[in-house]
Structure 1
Amino acid sequence: MNRFEDPSMDHRVNDILKRLERTRPTDLGAEAKMLCGDDEALLAEVLDALGTESGTVEMPVTSAPEAPDLPESNDADPDQPTVETPRNVGSRASGADHDSVEGLERIPRTGDRTRARLRRPDRIGHFQIESEIPIGRGGFGEVWEAFRVEGGFRQRVAIKIISRAVPDEKVIRRFELERQVLASLDHPDIARLIDGGEMDDGRPWLAMEFVDGVAVTTYCDRERLSIDARVKIFMKIASAVQHAHENLVVHRDIKPDNVLVTANGEPKLLDFGIAKLVNPDLGGEAGRVTQAGEGVLTPDYAAPEQFTGETIGTRADVYSLGVLLYELLTSRLPFHDEARGYINIRTAKLEKEPARPSDAVSTASIDPETAKRISASRDTGLDRIRRRLDGDLDVIILKALRREPSRRYASPRELIADLQRHLDGLPVEARPDSIGYRTTRFVARHRAGVAVSATGVVALALAALTLAAFADARASRTEADLASSRAETQTARAETSETIRAALAGIELQSAAKGTESLVTSLAEANRLDDADRLATAMLERIDTGLSIVPDDPDLIARRIALQLQVAKIRWQRRNPSLGDREDGARRRAEVATALAEARALHPNHPDLLFISALLELLESDALPVISRRPRLEASLELLSQAEIAANRDFPRQRSMIGTDLGDVLKREGDLNGALAAYEESHAAHSNRDGDSERDLAMVETRMASIRTLLGQNEAAKALHQRSLDRRRLLADQAAPTESARSRRDLANGHWFLAEAFAASSPATARRHVKRYLDLTFEVAWLDPLDRRGAVDDLMTAMSRASRLVSLHGGDTQPFAEVIARYRNSIVKPRLETLPDADARRLAIRADRYLSEVDLALAGEAASNDDLDLAETHLEATRRRLDRTLEIGRALLTIDSEDPELIAEIALCIAYRAEADHGNQKADPEQIETWIREARDLQSLARERPGDGPLRRKLDRQLGPPEA
Structure 2
Amino acid sequence: MITSDEWLEIRRVLDQALELSPADRPAFVERLCADRDGLRDQVEALMAAYEEDEDFLETPAYQLEGVGSWLGGHQPGSLVGRRIGAYELKEEIGWGGMSTVYLAERADGHFEQRVALKLLKHTSGGDVLLKRFRAERQILASLKHPNIASLVDGGASEDGTLYLVMEYVEGVPIDVYCDTHNLTIKERLQLFAAVCSAVHYAHQNLIVHRDLKPANILVTGEGVPKLLDFGIAKLLAPDLYAQPFNPTVTLLRPMTPNYASPEQIKGGLITTASDIYSLGVLLYELLTGHLPFGTARLPHEVLRAVCEDDPPLPSATIGRVVQKRSGSETITLTPRLVSLTRGGQPEKLQRSLSGDLDNIVLKAMSRPPERRYASAQQLAQDIERHLDGLPVLARENTLWYRTRRFVRRNKIVVAAGCLIGLSLVGGIVATSREAAIAQAAQARAERRFNDVRQLANSLMFEIYAGIDKLPGATPTKKLLVTKALTYLDNLSQEAENDLSLQASLATAYQRVGDIQGNIYNQNLGDTAGALRSHKRAQAIWQKIVAARPGDTQVKANLAASYLAVGDLQKWTGDRSAAAKSYIKAQQLQEELLQINPADIEALKGKKQSYSRLGDTLFDNGNGDRKGAQINYSKSLMIAEALAKKNPQDRQSQRDLMICYSDTADAESDQSRAEVNYRKALKIAEKLSSTNSLDATARRDLWFSHIKLGDFLLKKDSSASQNHYLQALKIARFLAASDPKNEQARTDLAYTYQGLGDVELTTKNRKSAGAFYLLALPIRQTAVQADPNNQYNRKKLQELYKRLSDSGTKFTPLPTKS
* More relative contact order, 1 or 2 (CA 8 Å, 6+ apart): 2
- Normalising by the residue count of structure 2, what TM-score does the alignment of the two structures yield? 0.50
Give the TM-score, by structure 1 length: 0.43
